[in-house]
Structure formats: C-alpha cells, structure tokens
Amino acid sequence: MQHNLAADAPIKCTTQTTDVDQQADNLSNWQQEYDQVSNGSFYGCIEEIAYDDLQVFKEYTHRALRQQCQVWPNSLWLGIPAQTSNSKINGLTIDSNQLMCRPSACDFELVTPEQFNIYGMVVNQDTLRHIAQCQGISLIGLCQHESPRITTSAAHLEQARNGIAQLIKNNSAVNTHIQHEMLFNLILTLLQSPQPKQKVSPSYQHRKAVVERVKDYINAHPHDVITMTQLCELSHVSRRTLQYSFESILGINPLRFLRITRLNQVRRELSDPQLHKPVSVIAANWGFGHPGQFAKDYKQLFGENPSATAKRRDR
C-alpha cells in the first residue's frame, strides 16, 4: 500500500559517527560530554525528530560510555533503555520496570554498557503542564522529581518503546498533529503511572559523595601524577571502600577511572583543530610520563594510535 506523505510532518534527522565527542554533539540542543570507557573503535547513531516543544530520538552507542548530560531549558527528559542492561543514572541502576527522568538545569550522569540503545523524549514543561491540566491529570512535583528513576509497568514501557520506534520509522506518513498527540499521550501515561517509593541503599549517599570528591580532585589537578594512597587520604576511606564506591557508582575502579578520564581528554586535544601541540607534549600535560605505555593504553582504548588521531585532525 502506498502512503501519501504528510506535508507538515517534521523531518527525521539521522546522524552516524565514529567519534565519541561528535556523538555527544549530535543530539540537538543538549549540553553533553561523553567519555569512552570500553576498549575499541567507536560507532554511534542518533535518529531524531524535533518539534517546537518536543524532541524524540533513538540513540545507539557501540562502546560503554560515561556521559555528563543536561537537557535544553524549561524541559523534562524521559529516557527508556531499549532492553534491560547495566545502565546507571547518577550511580543508580535502572531496573527493567523503570525509566529515567530529569528536568532541565539539572546535570546528570549516565553510565551505559556496550551496544546500548535508548529511546528519549524531551518536552517543554509549560506545554506538558497545560495538556495535563486539560486532561485533569496532576503532575505536581514531577518537574522537580528528587529521584532520577520512575517505576512503572513493563507494559507501559514497551508501549512507549514501540510507539517511538514506529514514529521514527514512519514519521513522514503521519501529520504533525497526530504525532504530537501520540507522543504526549505516551508521556502522560508514563508520568501518571503508580510510583512506589524508590529503594536506595542507605550507603548510597556516602559512596556517591566519595566518588564526587575524588572526581573533583582529579579535575582540579589534571597534570598531577595521582596515586591510590592520595585518593584514600583525600576521601578519608580505606582502599577497599574507595574501590567499592567507584565500582558500585561508575562500574569501574578508581585508577581505571583516572586513566580513562585523562585518555579521553588527551584525545579531545589531539582532535582539536585549534591545537597543534606534539602528541608527547599533550600526553605529558595530562600526567602520562611514559610515552610507550601511554601509546599502548591509548590504542587499546580507542582502537588507533594517538598519531592517527592527530593526523586526522590535521587533514
């Protein structure tokens, strides 16, 4: 059967990249930074449809990532992993009957595994409140939701996944009004679902605070050689507690976090067309004192030599 294209339907935008920083930039109007965590060359894809007051997308990332994110102003984001996986938001694991929810002006951190698919909807808060009010639905407090996780039914989550997937696939055959109505119905269904009290381990806040303290110190001393002993002294915890805190919140140990964070920063400088420093100088500035070991670690993480990254920048 042949469909007549809806003339007023917004155009789907599909972007593909082998650059992790480009992947972070490709999602319209978000402020993001992605650090690659697992080893190998990167591939990512975003399929996105943007309306005046609403954004819907599907994102695929081939490698495990740590993402720092903030959505566009006066909006609310809902994130639904395509499948049960070891994803975390602000150090909290997402269960199979949960979705993620964050308002604007609120930085959040995602930890995502390899071969990760996520469906996302971002909606203007004023429009959402207006439509909810017209339908007699109360959303009091949702836009300041204390927990980044919302518990709902598996059926509602699957309905949302299927609805978004079909819309992205067939958006040109459906006019904007119908698309708009369908998406807001999905959003309101998810937001008014029963929300049991979130279960958070009593030690979560302490572990999260330990990790944040160490991250702040690493960011403030980008060029220093940092040891495990220093990190333990800084956070006032034992090596075992420090290790457990990082593995439970970020899924990696603190020394690997330090190395990966700095390798990603080196890669950003090597990719920056405004910078033309030698590889050895950039590596040394980020605390890598042994060129041979640095080159080995870099190639293992990104799947290419640092010189290859620099040559691509120069081209």
Which parts of the chain sit beneath pLDDT 70? 1-9, 140-146, 173, 193-198
What's the pLDDT at 33? 97
Q: What is the pLDDT of residues 69-108, one digit of tens each?
A: 999 999 999 999 998 778 999 999 999 999 999 999 889 9
What's the pLDDT at 4? 36
The two three-digit tokens of residue 271, written as one number = 């990719």
Helix H or strand E segment including 127? helix 125-134
Beta strands in 37-81 (DSSP E): 44-50, 54-61, 65-70, 75-81
What's the pLDDT at 146? 65
What's the pLDDT at 194? 56
Q: Do 110 and 66 contact (CB within 8 A), yes or no? A: yes
Q: Do 38 and 63 contact (CB within 8 A), yes or no? A: yes
Q: Which residues of 246-270 are buried (b: 16+ CB within 10 A; e: fewer)?
A: bbbbbbbbbeebbbbbbbbbbbbbb
What's the pLDDT at 5? 37
Q: Order the strands of the 44-50 sheet from edge to edge.
A: 13-17, 44-50, 54-61, 116-124, 75-81, 98-103, 149-151
What's the pLDDT at 141? 58
Q: What is the pLDDT of residues 189-204, one digit of tens each?
A: 888 865 655 678 889 9
Q: Any idea where the domains of the chain sit in the sequence? A: 13-191, 204-314
Class of domain 204-314: mainly alpha
**Would the pTM of this model clear 0.85, i.e. be above it?**
yes
What's the pLDDT at 1? 28
Cα(168)–Cα(50) distance, rounded to whole angstroms?
11
CATH superfamily label, 13-191: Jelly Rolls (2.60.120.10)
In degrees, to the nearest 5, what angle opens at C-alpha 67 toward C-alphas 62 and 70?
Answer: 130
* First-last CA distance in the chain: 47
The two three-digit tokens of residue 315, written as one number = 């081209």
What's the pLDDT at 7? 47
Q: Do 79 and 57 contact (CB within 8 A), yes or no? A: no
